Structure 1
Amino acid sequence: MPNRSDPTVITPRLLREWPLPVPGRSADKGARGTVLVVGGSRFTPGAVLLAGVAALRAGAGVLQLAVAESTAAALSIQVPEALVIGLPETQAGSVAGRPPERLAELAGNARAIAIGPGLDNIEETGTLLRALLDAAGPDTALVLDAYALGALSHDPDLLAEREYPAVLTPNLTEAKFLLGREPDDDLGRTAASLADRYGAVVSLFGHIAAPDGRTWREESGDAGLGTSGSGDVRAGIVAGLLSRGADPAQAACWGAYAHAASGQRLAARFGRIGFLAREIVDGVPQTLAEI
């Protein structure tokens, strides 16, 4: 593992000195890139909705969603800003692993792909993940979340073989599967171990680590972020920042701060717990603008 220095605390000042790419005044939506979110079983399409809208709120120019076929029409109404395509389903309602040609085309043209929100079958997800990696362009940035991380834990060399810029956004359970053991009490050390093992930037509960040994810590997150759908929002924010041209470490650090600070804004209205993931999404543009 690369030598790990003490983590840098993520503050507004740090982020101002590490500015996000900003398109010119005359730039169209294409200048901010296309995000493709792939996920959503028959019973969990909301995860894709949260991640996709979060990507737009973080500044992505174009949004495309790929979900279980039975939910595609409803999702296209819920997110009229997005192109939505349906994916074949298993009998149980999971997204089937063999993607249609249309999805491969979208993956080849996306600047960032978020894979995993709402998926619920490891084997099918593994097949889907391999197909998406084969279809993605050489500079496409990846965000792996939820069941995509489970699939990666079954095939740890997937990313090493392709060397895509990637961000992994595990929770503690997913970190356990990726490590093959219980995470350390020191989550910064756990994030660094994962970054070294998978050759990707890792964002784990406010602890961010890059494969080159750099580490950061976000300190404003609180218990209210531990709510259903919050991880989907975080993955979407990171994907949106990647689509704007941020590098993986920058997207992970800015994304962790935007996620946490938007939650803090809600805590002033609702208290430390009780706000919803969809409400976190709406605070992201203001949080980014205030930095």
Structure 2
Amino acid sequence: MPNRSEVQVITPGLLRDWALPVPVGGKESRGTVLVIGGSRFTPGAVLLAGVAALRAGAGVLQLAAAESTAATLSIQVPEALVVGLPETADGAVAADQDGQLGELVAAADVVALGPGLKGIDETTRLLDLVLEAAEPRTPLVLDAYALGALSHEPKLLVGSGRPVVLTPNVTEAGHLLGRDPGDDLGSEAAELAERYEAVVSLYGHVAAPDGRGWREESGDAGLGTSGSGDVLAGLLTGLLSRGAEPAQAACWGAFAHAVSGQRLIPRYGRIGFLARELLDEIPRTLATV
């Protein structure tokens, strides 16, 4: 794979030489994914991330979201175990230190935290709970409000050796950096990867803490739509569940996310497709690399 500090373009050829693990056996061989998120008013984020994880190949899906949304989510995603979590008065998911969540985190093969969460204090408590309950080598995907929580505790992952992927947008990258990002998002991703000791996927730029870097060039304006980031976070989670290592999952995920959008352009135009329409394109995109 690429040498330190060498940025490579993510192409089908590069991915073929970095093939994803091929699961054998039943669904357990493809791992159990736990997605934690979804406030009372944003349950769709958990749905998008969870279904994306399944489309990327995860074997078992569990969703943990605001209690008031759990019944609806269980109907919308019948493939998933759905657990309702306590809510604050304004509908944010509350960290239940003595509840079922810690057991689910401990048993999961990959945990995604952030899609659809709100409330930085509650999210910080959730992040602490996840880090305490998860096995030391359990991969984590941190997205949305979980990134804001991490920016408040920037040393939380340093020295842990835990496999983590961060999926910030430009605004969230600014919180993590403590300043407005510059135009060179590749350099910004590299700085974040080094600072937080995690793989970073930032608008098609992937950086690893060891200095390796990659760039995806297929992404188009249509990916800048509501829910698209939730799909990417779930896609990465599913790839990790299959056994990919963090940088590999981030590169394959960036490519599959972008090319799935390209596949929708003939039907909907460059900016007319919806995030949920990306989901059905993911397996085909992965299969045709």
TM superposition score category, shorter chain reference: over 0.9
- 1:7 aligns to what? 7
SS in 2 for 1:83: strand
Equivalent residue letter for 1:127: R
Q: Deviations over 1:159-211 (max 9, x none)?
A: 12533100000000000000000112100000000000000000000000000
- Work out whether residues 141 and 166 of structure 1, in 8 Å CA contact, stay in contact via their aligned partners in 2: yes
Structure 2 gap segments, 5+ residues each: none
Task: State the distance in 2 between where 1:6 and 1:264 align.
Answer: 27
1:284 alignment partner, one of 272, 276, 282 = 282
2:182 alignment partner, one of 184, 200, 203 = 184
Task: State the distance in 1 between where 2:42 and 2:218 align.
Answer: 29
Task: State the distance in 2 between where 1:254 and 1:119 align.
Answer: 25
Equivalent residue letter for 2:169: N
2:170 alignment partner, one of 166, 169, 172 = 172
Which contiguous aligned blocks of 4+ residues in structure 1 show a shift greater than 6 angstroms? none
Structure 1 residue 144 corresponds to structure 2 residue 167: no
Task: State the distance in 1 between where 2:157 and 2:220 align.
Answer: 32
Matches within 5 A, 1:49-68: 49-68=47-66
Equivalent residue letter for 1:224: G
TM score, norm. by length of structure 2: 0.97
TM score, norm. by length of structure 1: 0.97
- 2:23 aligns to what? 23
Matches within 5 A, 1:94-105: 94-105=92-103
Equivalent residue letter for 1:125: T
Q: Deviations over 1:34-56 (max 9, x none)?
A: 11000000000000000000000
Question: CA separation of 1:103/1:161 partners in 2, compared to 1, >3 Å: closer, same or farther?
Answer: farther
SS in 2 for 1:55: helix
Task: State the distance in 2 between where 1:129 and 1:190 align.
Answer: 23
Task: State the distance in 1 between where 2:127 and 2:255 align.
Answer: 28
Equivalent residue letter for 1:40: G
Task: State the distance in 1 between where 2:37 and 2:132 align.
Answer: 17
Q: CA deviation at 1:5?
A: 2.8
Structure 1 gap segments, 5+ residues each: none
Q: CA deviation at 1:97?
A: 2.5
Task: State the distance in 2 between where 1:197 and 1:139 align.
Answer: 20
Q: CA deviation at 1:137?
A: 1.1
Structure 1 residue 159 corresponds to structure 2 residue 162: no
Query: What's the C-alpha RMSD, in Å, of the aligned pairs?
Result: 1.1
Task: State the distance in 1 between where 2:99 and 2:132 align.
Answer: 12
Question: CA separation of 1:87/1:278 partners in 2, compared to 1, >3 Å: closer, same or farther?
Answer: same
- 1:197 aligns to what? 195
Q: CA deviation at 1:4?
A: 6.1
Equivalent residue letter for 2:15: L
SS in 2 for 1:162: coil
What percent identity do the matched residue pairs reach?
71
Q: CA deviation at 1:99?
A: 4.2
